[in-house]
A and B are shown apart, each in its own frame.
Chain A
């Protein structure tokens, strides 16, 4: 069975500083990986996804993520955080590229200090 772990429940970062959110997955085959962001009381917005190819993936809002098969990780990064990046971030793994359910991690809440 697939699983996702986000080790950091909360992260506080100063505006303008860099941000890295950790994600570790467990899945027996080739994983299909996603990062979503959720603002309070809202649904989830897709930031980026990895299906195959280049292991460094660019997404929206200046985010990027790197797939490392040897470490079973898919960490999310942003070089310079804006106050509007304060939200909850979820990593997810899909069973296949052609659909099926997503398994989500528990999320990391990001607070941005002015």
Chain B
């Protein structure tokens, strides 16, 4: 068990560019979550997948954001036409759906800076 991994760890981009982040969950975890954390705040939920199905999206996830989990393993989060307000830490978490518990394990995050 190598834990949740995210790539890249840091991304600096110019306003208007597109960026894509990748998350590899703990192997065999069937649930995958994306959160966004701005400076000095707690993480905020963006979206989650069970296997390849995207089951819930937050209203925070504007039309410029899209997430996929094509084979039910890794996931990507794309932000199109980035804005300075998108600067944040993007956290991925995974969990294994069990009968009575669901504990999310987080990756190290991708810190995005939009200039």
Contact = CB atoms under 8 A, between A and B. Distances in A.
Nearest to B41: A106
Given A99-B95, A104-B42, A42 B101 contact: no
A101 B43 CA distance: 11
Interface of B: 4, 6, 31, 33, 35, 40-45, 48, 50, 56, 58, 91, 93, 95, 97-109, 111
A101 B48 contact: yes
Interface stretch (A11-19, A43-51, A71-79): A43-51
Contact of B45 (A4, A96, A97, A102): A102
A76 B81 CA distance: 41
Consensus secondary structure, chain A interface = strand
3 closest A-B pairs (Cβ-Cβ)? Answer: A104-B42, A101-B45, A99-B102
29 contacts: A4-B42, A42-B109, A43-B4, A43-B6, A43-B106, A43-B108, A43-B109, A46-B103, A46-B105, A49-B103, A51-B100, A51-B101, A90-B42, A90-B43, A94-B102, A96-B102, A97-B101, A98-B102, A99-B95, A99-B97, A100-B56, A101-B56, A102-B35, A102-B43, A104-B44, A105-B42, A106-B40, A107-B41, A107-B42
Interface in A1-42: 4, 34, 36, 41-42
A58 interface: no
Interface residues of A, number: 26
A44 B56 contact: no
Interface centre among A43, A44, A49, A96 (most CB of B within 10 A): A43
Nearest to A98: B102
Contact of A103 (B45, B91, B104): B45
